[in-house]
Structure formats: structure tokens, C-alpha cells
Amino acid sequence: MTKMIPTPADGLPALTRGALARHFAYVDGAWVAGAQSDDFNVTDPASGAVLGAVAKLSAEDSRGAVDAAHAAFPHWSGLLPQERGAILRRWRDLMLENREDLARIMTAEQGKPISESRGEIDYAASFFEFYSEEARRPNIEGVTSHLPDAEVEIWREPVGVAALITPWNFPSAMLTRKAGAALAAGCTVVAHPSAETPFSALALAELGEQAGLPKGVFNVVTGEAPEIVKPWMEDTRVRAISFTGSTEIGKLLYRQASDSVKRLVLELGGHAPFIMFDDADMDRAVEEAIKAKFA
């Protein structure tokens, strides 16, 4: 990977803080281009206009991100839970301070109305708030033993590097929901955002750096999913996978994870049917269908 000087993605809307517009990947605390210096275009779904080119990393680069996360794990997991929680809380505060810019980025690349984008930023920030507090919870549980004069304790510890694969429809909230839990527990993260909506993830990486995340703790690897994710599935240092997307891809990841017995968190499914019975209130059903299917 080649370290790059951060520059804005020119096609994005005007932002209060231009530093949030990034078109390089974020690995080991640095903005990087791929080893082959390739890139791919991100377009506005409303107009088809090109918003900017984003670094397309290779399988080699993807493995390098795991190297960084694995090296950062001992220090990050060794911090006190309240220290990790304080960083997550600062990250949440920065998201809310930059709410309008984050919403503009999301609307530009994802297409949802600006009012919904603002709502998603609030929703996404809430996960960092929740897990900043959850990080402090006790991680030891007592269990009644089946033997006399014996005690059993369950200790919950971070597993290592967690790989997060997020979809296009909620480009900020799906990332913070996954990353907040992993980071609070003491895991380090390699994240692959959808190639349709990478700018939101890269903006969050910028704010994470400002919040004080040590290098290597949170990495955003942009590019084509098969090229990025396959090395993670083969790498025994990646101990957990969290994926939101289609059932078809979920099954593929399930098979690929079996060799190294990775922990899997899968949110799968297609576009669920909307069922109405004969006695339904038609007007209300139409209203609810619009909310459910066109949000």
C-alpha cells in the first residue's frame, strides 16, 4: 500500500469540513492507495454523476489491513474498558457535531432524502453512545457448578480481529452498530463498506482518528468485495465476521468461515413480502407499505 496525502473527493457536495471527504482507504492510521494504485468511481444514484474515485485495494492490501489490526490488538484490548468507552463517546460527539456534513455525504452517494440521512446519523451515533457505556459492564459471570464445593466462572474476553461487511442502504448505522460492539469489547476492526457507499465509512474513519483511536484499531478497506473479503475468510487471525446482506452471500461466508471456525453474526434476507388479509384497513395498509418498502 502507498500512503497518500488526504485530499477531498471533488464531486461530493460542499461540506463545512472538507476533511470528511476522503477517497483513499484508511489502514493502520494512514490514508492509503492500493498497491496497484487502482480506483473505482462512486456515482450519485439520482443523476448518475460521478462523485469521485475511491481507492480499490487488492487482496494483498486486504491482508495488510489484518496485519495492522492484529498488531494493534494487544494494546487496544489491554486498555481499561472505560478508556475504550471514552473514545467511543468522543467519536459519537464528533458525529453529532458534523451531522450535516455526514448527512450530505450519505444523500449524495446513497440517495435517501436529506431528512432521513440526518436521522440515520443520529441513529448511527447512538450505537457509539450505547457501547461506550456497555464497555464498562462486568465481563465475569458466576454459574452454578454440577460438582460440590466448586465454583464456575465465565470470563468474556475480546476474540481478536473482527471483520465487518456493511451494506449500501444504511452506510453509517450498520458500520457503527457493528464497530461499536467490537471496539467496546476490545476487538480491533477491518471493515469493508459497500462499493456503492464508501464515502460515509471513510468520513467515520476520519472522525474516529480525531476521537483518538490508535492506529490499526479501525481500518476501512475499500474495493471489490471478493478481493477484499476472501483473504479475511482465509486468515486465522480474523476471529469474527459480521455481515449484513443477502442470504446467498451469507451462505457463502458461512462455508468459507468453517475451516477456521470463525464466529459469525449474520443479518440476512431479501425484500420480504407484505401480506394483507381481506379485513385489512386498505388506507392504513397502503400507508404502512410505503413506510416499510420505500423508506
Determine the Cα–Cα distance for residues 154 and 79; give it in Å rounded to an integer: 20
pLDDT for 91 beyond 90:
yes
Question: For 164-184, what is each residue's pLDDT tens digit?
Answer: 999 999 999 999 999 999 999
pLDDT for 117 beyond 80:
yes
% of the chain at pLDDT higher than 70: 94
Q: Domains of the chain: which residue ranges?
A: 2-137+156-270
Determine the Cα–Cα distance for residues 76 and 73; give it in Å rounded to an integer: 5
Determine the Cα–Cα distance for residues 240 and 124; give it in Å rounded to an integer: 21
Identify residue 102 by its one-letter amino acid code. L
SS3 2: strand
How many other C-beta atoms can be found within 10 angstroms of the C-beta atom of residue 270? 8
- Contact of 234 with 63, CB cutoff 8 Å: no
- What does each C-alpha distance from 127 to 91, 105, 177, 240, 284 come to in angstroms? 11, 20, 5, 19, 32
Question: For 240-250, what is each residue's pLDDT tens digit?
Answer: 999 999 999 99
Mean pLDDT, to the nearest integer, of 66-86?
Answer: 97
Q: Is the pTM of this model over 0.85?
A: yes
Closest CA to 80 of 184, 178, 155, 182: 184
Determine the Cα–Cα distance for residues 61 and 55; give it in Å rounded to an integer: 11
CA–centroid distance for 204 within its chain: 9
Closest CA to 217 of 136, 161, 157: 161
- The answer for residues whose C-beta is within 8 angstroms of residue 287's C-beta and 6 or more apart is none
SS3 142: strand
pLDDT for 4 beyond 70:
no
Residue 7: predicted pLDDT: 47
Pick the CATH number of 2-137+156-270 from 3.40.50.150, 3.40.605.10, 3.50.50.60, 3.60.20.40: 3.40.605.10
- Contact of 265 with 243, CB cutoff 8 Å: yes
Which residue do the cell numbers 492510521 mark? 29
